[in-house]
Amino acid sequence: MSSETKQILTTDGIPLEVSLKKAERKNKIKAFLLVAPLLFFLIITYVFPIGDMLFRSVDDKMVTQMLPKTFKAMENWDGQELPDEEVFAAFHEDFIKLVEDKREGKLSTQLNYTKNGFKSIIKKLRRASKKFEEGNYKEQIMSVHKRWADVEYWRAIQRRAPEFTGQKYLKGMDMYVNEEGKIVSVEEDRRIHRVLWLRTLEIAFFVTVFCFLMAYPIAHLLATLPMKYSNLLMICVLLPFWTSLLVRTASWMILLQQQGIVNDFFVGIGLVADDNRPEMMYNKTGSYVAMTQILLPFMVLPLYSVMKTISPSLMRAGKSLGGTPFVAFWKVYFPLTIPGIGAGCLLVFILAIGYYITPALVGGASGTLISNQIAFHMKSTLDWSFASAMGLMLLSGVLVIYWLYNKIVGIDNIKLG
């Protein structure tokens, strides 16, 4: 506004522009205050804990704090030959303290992660250290076990000196830092995690494809049938959607077991011999079948809501212009359903990639996914930092897909049937 033009004033004598801005700000604050309780609740209970996972996954202070003097003494060690007496003495001092606090077991677990073989030699050292005489610790420790005289083991200890480490992430991809400090893959037969990642992607991908192939025709039927019939058929989609996941998994366990109904049927029609019933559960087949059926509604609903908006006259127009029904479908109808396809596929893929319960129950050993591995480390091995690292690797994958989803469909457009 140029200075010559007369400013419009409100009745209070305040310029209108200022007054409007003030009102706008007030409204903004009001709107924000409404969102604030939920936002802060989620930030504290959910967003920060995910950040905490990030911290845990790289945190490696435990060993650093257990062997402070050792690592101090190791600063001058070049790692070529066995360390000097100074390092051994410092290690002895730290170790005695750990034994006093009864924490040497934790140290052995931690060091064993870095290099196998620490468990037994730490046990031996604890027993022997009671009879140690003062001075010349290098000789005394080395005489406990020949591995204590192996420079490899001392290098392994030195590698645990930093407070932060990315080794859990490397472990998640079956890699580690070797003695020379290079990142290398573990031996072929021990690459369990890569197999799991690939299997997770494979199962999520094929489940998405199967869901799409099955959902497209029925979504089309639901969208084109008269309301009277489509509402009735919609129940077939919505009832499984609302039914407990465990109930649906249970029904698949009954159906797919060796003496189950599906096998009975196959035997009945002579497809397989009675004494040669195929194993359909506790393997990949079980995961595929059950996950496809469970995730199918998530594909049908977005497809249906898009197809519902496509006018049938478009197809008629296509046909009247000389296209066969197939051409009309392929050139007119199909392109219009692409937003629904994108939404459905990404939704199903995101859900499938993080699936846990169903694969754990019907997947057996060959049908489990990365989520099962995370749960295993959370509950059984208690290696929480590794579970966190794998969780975050999975999460970053999901966020990329989520971002794509947002680009293609927009998160505001999520429909829940």
Partner 1 sequence: MALPKYTEPHYRIWHYVYLTICGAVFFFLIAPLFVIFPLSFNAEEFLSFSEGMKRLDPDAFSLRWYKDMIYGTKNPWGLAAKNSFVIAIFATIGSVILGTVAALGLSSRHMPYKGLIMAVLISPMIVPLIISGVAIFFFMAKAGLAATHTGIVLAHIILGTPFVVITVTATLSGFDHSVTRAAASLGSDPVNTFMKITLPLILPGVISGGLFAFVTSFDEVVVVLFLAGLENTTIPIQMWTGLREQLSPTILAVATCLIILSTLILVTAELLRRRSERLRGINQ
Of 77 and 376, the one with the shorter C-beta distance to partner 1 is 376
Q: For residue 144, what are the CA distances in angstroms to 58, 125, 132, 141? A: 33, 6, 10, 5
Task: Determine the interface stretch with partner 1 among 59-67, 115-123, 135-143, 258-266 (rule: CB under 8 A).
Answer: 258-266
Residues within window 286-345 making contact with partner 1, judged by CB under 8 A: 293, 296-297, 325
How far is Cα 407 from Cα 282, in angstroms, rounded to an integer?
A: 38
Sole binder of partner 1 in the list 128, 173, 398, 404 (CB under 8 A): 398
Residues within window 79-98 making contact with partner 1, judged by CB under 8 A: none
Question: Is the distance from CB of 62 to CB of 109 less than 8 angstroms?
Answer: no
How far is Cα 390 from Cα 41, in angstroms, rounded to an integer?
A: 26
Residues within window 24-83 making contact with partner 1, judged by CB under 8 A: 24, 27-28, 30-39, 41-50, 52-53, 56
Kindly state whether residue 149 participates in binding partner 1, applying the rule CB under 8 A.
no
Kindly state whether residue 381 participates in binding partner 1, applying the rule CB under 8 A.
no
* Number of residues binding to partner 1, judged by CB under 8 A: 92
Of 162 and 417, the one with the shorter C-beta distance to partner 1 is 417
Q: Greatest CA span in the chain, whole angstroms?
A: 101
If 0-12 CB within 10 Å is exposed, 13-18 middle and 19+ buried, where does residue 245 land? middle
Question: Is the distance from CB of 46 to CB of 52 less than 8 angstroms?
Answer: no
How many Cα atoms within 13 Å fall on the side-chain side of residue 15? Answer: 8
Q: Residue 93 Cβ, how far from partner 1 at the closest point, in Å? A: 33
Kindly state whether residue 5 participates in binding partner 1, applying the rule CB under 8 A.
no
Q: Residue 188 Cβ, how far from partner 1 at the closest point, in Å? A: 28
- Integer-rounded Cα Rg, in Å, for the chain is 32
Q: Which of 232, 224, 231 is nearest to 309 (CA)?
A: 224
Site mask for partner 1 (CB under 8 A), range 193-222, x = bound: ---------------------xx-xx--x-
Task: Determine the interface stretch with partner 1 among 3-11, 76-84, 336-344, 369-377 (rule: CB under 8 A).
Answer: 369-377
Kindly state whether residue 128 participates in binding partner 1, applying the rule CB under 8 A.
no
Of 8 and 50, the one with the shorter C-beta distance to partner 1 is 50
How far is Cα 132 from Cα 82, in angstroms, rounded to an integer?
A: 20
Of 117 and 364, the one with the shorter C-beta distance to partner 1 is 364
CA angle 125, 126, 129 (to 5 degrees): 75
Of 207 and 215, the one with the shorter C-beta distance to partner 1 is 215
Residues within window 6-25 making contact with partner 1, judged by CB under 8 A: 24
Of the chain, the end-to-end C-alpha distance in Å amounts to 50
Kindly state whether residue 268 participates in binding partner 1, applying the rule CB under 8 A.
no
Q: Residue 89 Cβ, how far from partner 1 at the closest point, in Å? A: 38
Sole binder of partner 1 in the list 2, 65, 80, 244 (CB under 8 A): 244
How far is Cα 228 from Cα 215, in angstroms, rounded to an integer?
A: 20
Q: For residue 197, what are the CA distances in angstroms to 7, 48, 129, 359, 371? A: 66, 26, 45, 14, 10
Task: Determine the interface stretch with partner 1 among 2-10, 96-104, 147-155, 246-254 (rule: CB under 8 A).
Answer: 246-254
Kindly state whether residue 186 participates in binding partner 1, applying the rule CB under 8 A.
no
